[in-house]
Amino acid sequence: MRKIIFFDIDGTISIEETGEIPKSAVTAIRKARENGHLAFINSGRTLSSIEEKYKQIGFDGYVCGCGTDIYEGYNNIFRYSVPEEVCKNVIKKARETKVTAVYESAVAVYYDPEVPKHSVVEELKNKAGDGWKVLGTDTDELFCEFEKFCIWLTEEADYEAFYNAVGDYFEFINRGGGMYEIMPKDVSKATGIQFLLDYYGIPLEHCFAIGDSTNDLPMLQYVPNSIAMGNAMEEILPYCAYQTANIEDDGLLKALKYYKIV
């Protein structure tokens, strides 16, 4: 029976520090599809943030924004829409509490000039160029749809006040270094997997998930065939059935060979 494999991007398909995609990773993914299996990206990134170099590898589709947006090919088959009033409230509270936030949607990534600058955000913005859009300054007239968002804390930020203001609706994932990845509580990388298992009629035991960091935990805890990269964060290892080699040491190819997918 065909299997379905879900791949994180950073640190799994590509090397975290450089963004380089090892040839062995491309070979592994393409060979898995040649063998009749399904290959999906399952990422915290929204579709607008997935570079062309990943799409050119060849995937059957994408679970984007931590399960908020799902595609078969490039055909959208599921989207979790955060209500407009919730989006506006998040932006307003981020400004009030001086939390640096970046808002992610399928069509764009938005940064806010009304919050304190953060070196990481400035670096990402400069790399993205025209890929990032600027928010307006008036929250009463502002319309910004987003599926998820990330925050970075500076010394000015009042994280507790921000969390208390929006935490009932959203799940916060601590990525370390004062960064939090935030998505609606009703969705995750795991709900995205279950949606596609139902969609294709594939049982859970034929499902595989491969990741390296704490934002992969929902999918790694959900599937029985969970794979940690060799370069994975130690926090995820207790929840993985198998650990492969580092990404630059052909870890992706070795993992799929271990499970006889390629």
Q: What is the mean pLDDT of each run of 10 residues along the chain (262 residues)?
A: 95 91 97 98 92 96 96 96 92 96 91 92 83 70 79 96 96 91 94 98 97 92 97 94 96 97 96
- Count of CB atoms within 10 A of residue 70's CB? 26
Please state, in angstroms and rounded to a whole number, the distance separating the CA atoms of residues 87 and 92.
9
- Measure the CA angle with vertex 197, ends 73 and 213; round to 5°: 80
pLDDT computed for residue 137 by the predictor: 60
Q: In sequence order, what E strands does the chain have?
A: 4-7, 38-42, 61-64, 69-72, 75-79, 100-104, 109-111, 132-134, 148-152, 170-176, 179-184, 207-211, 225-228, 242-243
pLDDT computed for residue 141 by the predictor: 52
pTM for this prediction = 0.90
pLDDT computed for residue 135 by the predictor: 84
Which tokens hold the place of 187? 């969705």
